[in-house]
Amino acid sequence: MKRVLAVLSAAAMLFCSCAQTGGNPDEVPQEAGAQSPVTPAAEEAAPETELTADLPEADYEGYVFTFLTQTNYNDNFRLDMELNGEALNDAACQRNDAVADRFNVDFEVRETDDVASTLRNAVSAGDSAYGMVLPHATVGVAAMASAGALSNINELPYTNYAMPWWNGRMKDALAIRGKSYYASGDLVMTWQGMLAILFNKELLEDLGVDEDLYAAAEEGRWTMDKMLSLAELGAADLNGDGTMDGSDRYGYLGNKNTGYGTQIACGVPFTERDEEGTPVLAFNTDRMTSVVEKYYALTHSPATWLDEYSSVTYATSAYRSMLIEGRSFLTELDIGGLYSYLREIEFNFGILPLPKLDEEQESYRVFCGAGLIGLPSNAEDPERTGAIWEALAYYSYKFVRPAFFDIVLENKAVRDQESYRMITLMHENKTFDFGFNFDSSGSIYGALKSVVITGNGTDFASFYQKQQKVWTKTLNKVYESFGD
């Protein structure tokens, strides 16, 4: 029986709580980060009891806890906000107020264009001003950890990474020699890249497609081939000039920079752990060859229009214009970071995960690389820091998570319960990969783009052979920089 993607939200929450266990950070289970089946037994589990964090009774006498993060990330993460009547914003205020009242602390945010250099300079100068660092997904991630600017978060008091307000899979995926330098969880859930497929439900009907795409996903039939066959139905020369260009309608609208999401969705990780727990390259496989061929077929189809955008440029991109004008049938979108833009779409749409490679693939996988949290190595008073960390995560789970799912997504952004349930479960099943976050060059996770988009071909084997030594050296250099 195929694994089911869309289930009741309560079952998804239960699954999250069960899946995010601790354990040896270097012991990554087979297909780490992939979804486990949600069985009827799970759906019929006893009613949930309210979870609480194991926090101390303490008064920190007005201590100012400072977040160090990337420029513009305060608004994205909602770290330190003022009440304004907007649900998600005010939920973040509730979280901060709850922690501030409990421990008698205050919060400040420092944004910088170079988080890694700012933190390393502070540590070198003995400046212990920062209680938490929230960097870009890849920029400086390896450098901060290897330079000794970050501490092992496994040793932080009070933090329980098995609780559902943390993402234990992410912590374990990025572990180095039994130590973890980055965490993730509900504190940063509003700015975690998570790719999804939006389908235009009105076009679905106009094109005479009578298939229930939600059922296809639930039954394991939502595959690369299925998506391509649908995309080829959706293209149309709207102005009748005999030429397909940016003013026409396309069956698939994609971002040429996000092939890594497709690779992970098709069950091909960048890295895996060897017997000693060392991250090694894992995508020189027959399966990767199939991914390359299917991705080429999709991206080079006449029914496809490829553009590019980042979270910064999306608002003014041609990509956004094509989407909101209804000139795409299937659209890949970073719903983890751009969910607020869903409100401006006037036509009815549905949301699906990125497709599997084929029906034999056991589960859907949802790549996520953003939302990292680090602990400065010279943070003062680990007891205090640990208590504040756990409290921020817990109260994000209590206030921000419900606002994000129940208010922002269900009531304002998503048009049907099926999409809401899929987004909920996609968030609970995010997959992280060492080869993405610790590849500062971008060449490892950019391999699919390099071959198919930049190279306009499918010869992955030759490309891999040329790059293997460099990639292996990159990974080894990071790993060996941490010593024994």
> Are 299 and 447 in the same domain?
yes
pLDDT at 21 over 90: no
Is 402 within the bounds of a domain?
yes
Residue 454 domain-assigned (yes or no): yes
Q: Does residue 166 share a domain with residue 63?
A: yes
Does residue 383 fall inside a structural domain? yes
Q: What is the token pair recorded at 52? A: 């609480």
Strands (E), 211-348: 250-255, 271-273, 279-281, 304-307, 328-334
* Contact present, 93 and 82 (Cβ < 8 Å): yes
The answer to whether residue 424 is domain-embedded is no
Q: How far is CA 381 from CA 1, 157, 287, 376, 434, in A?
A: 51, 10, 48, 12, 29
Q: What whole-number percentage of the chain has pLDDT above 70?
A: 89
pLDDT over threshold 50, residue 434: yes
What is the pLDDT at residue 48? 55
Average pLDDT over residues 215-225: 95
Range of 404's domain?
9-192+369-413
Kindly indicate the confidence band of residue 322, based on its pLDDT and cuts at 50, 70 and 90. very high
Q: What is the pLDDT of residue 9?
A: 37
- Given this model, what pLDDT does residue 484 score? 60
Same domain flag for 292 and 306 = yes
Task: Please name the residues in contact with 459: beta carbons below 8 A apart, sequence gap of 6 or more.
Answer: 451
Residues 206 and 312 in one domain: yes
What average pLDDT does this structure show over 238-244?
A: 91
237 and 105: one domain?
no
CA distance 362 to 353: 14
Residue range 306-320: average pLDDT?
90
| Pairwise CA distance, residues 187 & 161, whole Å | 13
Q: Give tens-digit pLDDT for 2-16.
A: 334 433 333 333 333
Specify the residue for token string 């490892």. Answer: 444
* Residue 476 counted as domain residue: no
Does residue 271 sit in the same domain as residue 128? no
CA separation for the pair 181, 372 (Å, rounded) = 9
Q: Do residue 125 and residue 115 come from a single domain? A: yes
Q: Cα(279)–Cα(89) distance, rounded to whole angstroms?
A: 38
- Classify residue 147: in a domain, yes or no: yes
- What would the pLDDT profile of 143-157 be if each residue is shown by its tens digit? 898 889 999 999 999
Domain containing residue 120: CATH number: 3.40.190.10
Q: What is the pLDDT of residue 408?
A: 76
Average pLDDT score, the chain: 87
Mean pLDDT of 108-114: 95
If asked whether residues 403 and 273 sit together in one domain, one would say no
Q: What is the pLDDT of residue 75?
A: 83
Overall number of domains in the chain: 2
142 and 84 together in one domain: yes
Instruction: Identify the pLDDT of residue 483.
Output: 65
pTM for the full predicted model: 0.86
Task: Specify whether the CB–CB gap between 479 and 279 falls below 8 A.
Answer: yes
CB 353 within 8 A of CB 194: no
Percent of the chain at pLDDT > 90 equals 65
Q: What is the mean pLDDT of residues 454-477?
A: 95
- For residues 277 and 376, membership in a common domain is answered with no
**Predicted pLDDT at 311:** 80
In a domain, 211, yes or no: yes
Asked whether residue 187 falls in the same domain as residue 249, the answer is no
Cα–Cα distance for residue pair 162/169, rounded to 1 Å: 10
Note the helical H segments in 44-196: 73-77, 87-103, 115-124, 141-146, 168-173
Report if residue 138 sits inside a domain: yes
pLDDT value of position 137: 87
Is residue 312 located within the same domain as residue 385? no
Grade residue 73 by pLDDT with cuts at 50, 70 and 90. Answer: confident
Please report which helix (H) or strand (E) contains residue 473, including its range. helix 460-480
